[in-house]
Amino acid sequence: MIHNRTVIEARPAPTHTIGPVAWLRANLFSGPINTILSLAAIYLLVSLLVPTIQWAFIDADWVGTSRDDCSREGACWVFINARIGQFIYGLYPRHEIWRVNVTFGLFAVLIAWLAIPRLPLKRWVAVATLVVFPFVAFALLYGGRFGLPVVETHRWGGLMLTLVLAVVGMVAALPIGTLLALGRRSKMPIVKSFSVIFIEFWRGVPLITVLFMASVMLPLFLPTGMNVDRLVRALIGITLFQSAYMAEVIRGGLQAIPRGQEEAAAALGMGYWKRMGLIVLPQALKMMIPGIVNTFISLFKDTTLVMIIGLFDLLGIVQAALSDSRWLGFSVEGYAFAALVFWIFCFSMSRYSQYLERKLHTGHKR
Amino acid sequence: MSVPSKAPLRRPKPPFWRDPAKRALTFQILLMIGVAIFLLGIVNNTQDNLAARGITTGFGFLTNTAGFGIVQSLIDYSSESSYGRTFLVGLLNTLIVSALGVLAATIIGFVVGIARLSPNWLIARLATCYIEIFRNIPLLLQIFFWYFAVLRTMPSARESMSLGEVIFLNVRGLYLPEPQFLSGFGLIPAAFVIAVVASIAFALWNKRRQEATGKRLPAGWISLALILGLPLLVLLVTGVPVTWDVPALSGFNFRGGITVIPEFLALWLALSIYTASFIAEIVRSGIQAISHGQTEAAQALSLPQGLILRLVIVPQAMRVIIPPLTSQYLNLIKNSSLATAIGYPDLVSVFAGTTLNQTGQAIEVIAMTMAVYLTISLLVSTFMNWFNARVALVER
């Protein structure tokens, strides 16, 4: 028996599934709604980017010394060029600037050492950064030792002050935050309630009121006749505020460690501080690093608030430069510069913390 | 085998410093004493300092005349009003900018967060750019940008930008038409309330019917039609009892309508845009936190895409989203205190700023200001905890 076989017509070849056209079709023009959205997005991009690039690069003036050199329609980067020294170092004496450079160069090396996973001796570098470096930095920046002339803190400013505020606030907040986090998890009722009240109080109020408090109330709290430097007052406020946030990050890290770890340590006869210092905290620290970096980013952005109590951080000094009568009307350039600096710092730190999170995240992912 | 001795095992009593219970007690007492000495020292120093400066403590200053004007107040206020009234005006200004900021930030944040997950490559990239740009620039800088670089450089009143000759924007602010309600307008809110009640009743009936018969009507659309349609119908039937007080240029300024001061606009824009970038990330991570198996299971049940989102993804994602969303709301409320940098009359600006400078009552003023923020924080987190407990997964 012979079956009557009919041959099916050959199907048309599939449309492109690779290549730019197929990519465009799949990702941008896959349907009527998507097409409309894509066109709208392209329109938005063009209408935003073209004038911005025109303003910032093509029509911009780059070199010169005064506002007369800014003749064209675009941005006047001459303003930034003329002021860059002030924006970075504040009113720090010009021939002492090397001290700032050395301090932050040293700091950058230490941080890079800690951040790059392959480098050895992490523990010792961390100890050096947290314990030794602050004293070295103080001696270098403030002076008065090793024959360095004293530079009063009211001359500090710009990016340098921003970094000083953020780094000191952070380094000082770490130990306080650790103690508070341990206190909040403690079984001792008084210690626990003290920690909870402290943390919730500072987390419940805005940083600006904390700074106000540090600048107007702190002098009242001290013995009559004792005067505290304005920068130190701001630092005290920032540290207290930051330590409460740090405590919550550290508590989160502590909670992620299984109870068995602490119980096993206790079974080996370890006391509380040994259990915490040798078993729990080192394991928790690994999990806390992304959170710590994130709080550092928000602290870094929040340091701009010190301009309200009269310190000239990067934003403060840009704002002050904008009201200089020789350079009126360049506010967009000034803000764009400050925004770019802050953005580079914060974005690179947030990328680093995301990288760490990915490295530490070993669960199932799609 | 050794024979266990009959004598009772005598455990030596540990010395005082080895007994955990006693040690904990000692430690806590020491902490209490330390804190008490610290606080007493502060109180003592403060009294000395206040006496030296001739400042009397107490809240009596709240009834004194403030003597300064405030550009924006929701309640009656003049320079003859008291400092207590100043406090209220500042508080209300903080609350209104916070409430509108929370609203706008939520809307922008959810839209951008969902856009970031869009299959459309361009839209997803745009959303990512938005998030990465705005959350990595300090809020104060953004406020300054909107205020000094955008709103302060607007044209003067005579050359103001206008939208259809009803909405005007110039260096003095935004001018909106103000509705003036005529008699008979009361029916419209009444119609609105009736529509809301009716749609709730309809939703309940619809749910019962669905449980009994398996059939359901599109409750969402019907409710929307009721809530929008009924007031609109009443509005048309009663002959539109609303007139609009349109701002008009007279002399060098606009008269009539609602004036939104530029300080408010700058603060509100910056707060919403900044916070929205964080909310967007929260929304994205909340949606991504839902296991992909949930979507696949819903697809296997052949639910359409819209229902998968509404019935499967969103209810579960909300559980992940709400706790961090709460802290963003609280951040926004606290960040509204940056108003003081551009002179928007919020609580910190008029009370912890001007009032403090005029009276010198640092302790009372700062304590009151902090108490307000603490109270708001506690209230919002209590409410959000309650809401979170309602949507939380109940296991066993």
Specify if A281 maps to a domain.
Answer: no
Task: Please indicate whether, in this complex, the C-beta atoms of B122 and A339 are within 8 angstroms of each other.
Answer: no
Owning domain of residue B382 = 83-159+261-391
| 122-161 in chain B: CB under 8 A from chain A | 122-123, 126, 132-133, 135-141, 144-145, 148-149, 153
Query: For residue range B360-395, what is the model confidence (pLDDT) as tens digits?
Result: 787 888 888 889 999 988 888 788 778 777 776 665
Nearest residue of chain B to residue A45 (CA atoms): B126
Specify if B49 maps to a domain.
Answer: no
pLDDT per residue, tens digit, chain B (396 aa), is 455 555 566 777 777 777 777 888 888 889 889 989 988 988 888 888 878 777 777 777 777 777 777 777 777 777 777 888 888 888 999 999 999 999 999 999 999 998 998 888 888 999 999 999 999 999 999 999 999 888 887 777 777 777 777 788 877 788 888 777 777 677 778 888 888 898 888 888 888 888 888 777 777 788 888 888 887 888 777 777 777 777 777 777 777 777 888 899 999 999 999 999 999 999 998 888 888 888 899 999 998 888 888 888 888 888 888 888 888 998 999 999 998 888 888 888 888 888 888 887 878 888 888 899 999 888 887 887 787 777 766 655
The reported pTM is: 0.84
Better pLDDT: B125 or A17: B125
Predicted local distance difference test score (pLDDT) of residue B109: 93
Task: Please indicate whether, in this complex, the C-beta atoms of A301 and B337 are within 8 angstroms of each other.
Answer: no
Please state the rounded mean pLDDT for residues A147-176: 85
Specify if A318 maps to a domain.
Answer: yes
How many structural domains compose chain A?
1
Please state the rounded mean pLDDT for residues A28-32: 79
Task: Please indicate whether, in this complex, the C-beta atoms of A190 and B31 are within 8 angstroms of each other.
Answer: yes
Predicted local distance difference test score (pLDDT) of residue A264: 92
Q: What is the mean pLDDT of chain A?
A: 83
Specify if A165 maps to a domain.
Answer: yes
Predicted local distance difference test score (pLDDT) of residue A228: 80
How many structural domains compose chain B?
1
Query: For residue range A69-108, what is the model confidence (pLDDT) as tens digits?
Result: 777 677 778 778 778 888 888 888 877 788 888 888 888 8
Predicted local distance difference test score (pLDDT) of residue A319: 86
Specify if B341 maps to a domain.
Answer: yes
> Chain A residues with CB inside 8 Å of B290's CB?
none
**Over 60: is that where the pLDDT of A119 sits?**
yes
> Chain B residues with CB inside 8 Å of A365's CB?
none
Predicted local distance difference test score (pLDDT) of residue B130: 92
Nearest to A339 among B141, B334, B352 (CB): B141
**Over 80: is that where the pLDDT of A276 sits?**
yes
Specify if B188 maps to a domain.
Answer: no
Interatomic CA distance for residues A21 and A35, integer angstroms: 14
Task: Please indicate whether, in this complex, the C-beta atoms of B369 and A209 are within 8 angstroms of each other.
Answer: yes
Nearest residue of chain B to residue A348 (CA atoms): B136
Predicted local distance difference test score (pLDDT) of residue A72: 66
Task: Give the distance from residue A289's alpha carbon to the nearest chain B alpha carbon, in angstroms.
Answer: 19
**Over 60: is that where the pLDDT of A366 sits?**
no
Percent of chain A with pLDDT over 70: 97
Nearest residue of chain A to residue B357 (CA atoms): A216
**Over 90: is that where the pLDDT of A1 sits?**
no
Task: Please indicate whether, in this complex, the C-beta atoms of B366 and A319 are within 8 angstroms of each other.
Answer: no
**Which of the four pLDDT bands, split at 50, 70 and 90, describes residue A364?**
very low
Domain at B125, CATH number: 1.10.3720.10
Specify if B214 maps to a domain.
Answer: no
> Chain A residues with CB inside 8 Å of B350's CB?
none
Specify if B206 maps to a domain.
Answer: no
Q: Which of A182, A209, A297, A342 to mutate to test the interface with B (most CBs of B within 10 A)?
A: A209
Task: Please indicate whether, in this complex, the C-beta atoms of A216 and B356 are within 8 angstroms of each other.
Answer: yes
Is there a contact between B167 and B177 (Cβ–Cβ < 8 Å)?
yes
> Chain B residues with CB inside 8 Å of A30's CB?
119-120
Specify if A87 maps to a domain.
Answer: yes
**Over 80: is that where the pLDDT of A281 sits?**
yes
Nearest to B45 among A28, A222, A319 (CB): A222
Give me the total of CB pairs closer than 8 Å, taking one residue from chain A and one from chain B: 147
Query: For residue range A345-354, what is the model confidence (pLDDT) as tens digits?
Result: 999 988 888 8
Q: What is the 3-state secondary structure (H, E, C) of chain B?
A: CCCCCCCCCCCCCCCHHHCHHHHHHHHHHHHHHHHHHHHHHHHHHHHHHHHHHCCCCCCHHHHCECCCCCCCCCCCCCCCCEHHHHHHHHHHHHHHHHHHHHHHHHHHHHHHHHHHCCCCHHHHHHHHHHHHHHHCCCHHHHHHHHHHHHHHHCCCHHHCEEECCCEEEECCEEEECEEEECCCCCHHHHHHHHHHHHHHHHHHHHHHHHHHHCCCCCHHHHHHHHHHHHHHHHHHHCCCCEEEECCEEECCEEECCEEECHHHHHHHHHHHHHHHHHHHHHHHHHHHHCCHHHHHHHHHCCCCHHHHHHHHHHHHHHHHHHHHHHHHHHHHHHHHHHHHHCCCCCHHHHHHHHHHHHHCCHHHHHHHHHHHHHHHHHHHHHHHHHHHHHHCCCCC
Predicted local distance difference test score (pLDDT) of residue A214: 86
Task: Give the distance from residue B264's alpha carbon to the nearest chain A alpha carbon, in angstroms.
Answer: 18
Specify if B122 maps to a domain.
Answer: yes
Specify if A136 maps to a domain.
Answer: no
Owning domain of residue A308 = 78-92+151-258+291-356
What are the angstrom distances between the C-alpha of B88 and each of B73, B174, B369, B379?
9, 24, 11, 18
> Chain A residues with CB inside 8 Å of B35's CB?
194
Predicted local distance difference test score (pLDDT) of residue B363: 82
Nearest residue of chain A to residue B381 (CA atoms): A204
Q: Which of A36, A332, A335 to mutate to test the interface with B (most CBs of B within 10 A)?
A: A335
Task: Please indicate whether, in this complex, the C-beta atoms of B341 and A301 are within 8 angstroms of each other.
Answer: no
Around A197, how many Cα atoms within 13 Å sit in the side-chain half-sphere?
Answer: 7
**Which of the four pLDDT bands, split at 50, 70 and 90, describes residue A158?**
confident
> Chain B residues with CB inside 8 Å of A315's CB?
138, 140-141, 144
Specify if A322 maps to a domain.
Answer: yes
> Chain A residues with CB inside 8 Å of B374's CB?
201, 204-205
**Over 60: is that where the pLDDT of A318 sits?**
yes
Predicted local distance difference test score (pLDDT) of residue B322: 84
> Chain A residues with CB inside 8 Å of B144's CB?
315, 319, 335
Burial of A49: CB neighbours in 10 Å, binned 0-12, 13-18, 19+: exposed
Q: Report DSSP state, residue A178.
A: H
Domain at A327, CATH number: 1.10.3720.10
Q: What is the value of ipTM here, to two decimals?
A: 0.85
> Chain A residues with CB inside 8 Å of B148's CB?
322, 331, 335
Query: For residue range B316-344, what is the model confidence (pLDDT) as tens digits?
Result: 888 888 888 888 998 999 999 998 888 88
Predicted local distance difference test score (pLDDT) of residue B4: 55
Specify if A23 maps to a domain.
Answer: no
Specify if A339 maps to a domain.
Answer: yes
Specify if B30 maps to a domain.
Answer: no
Q: Which residues pair with B259 in a beta bridge?
A: B175
Nearest to B141 among A34, A201, A304 (CB): A304
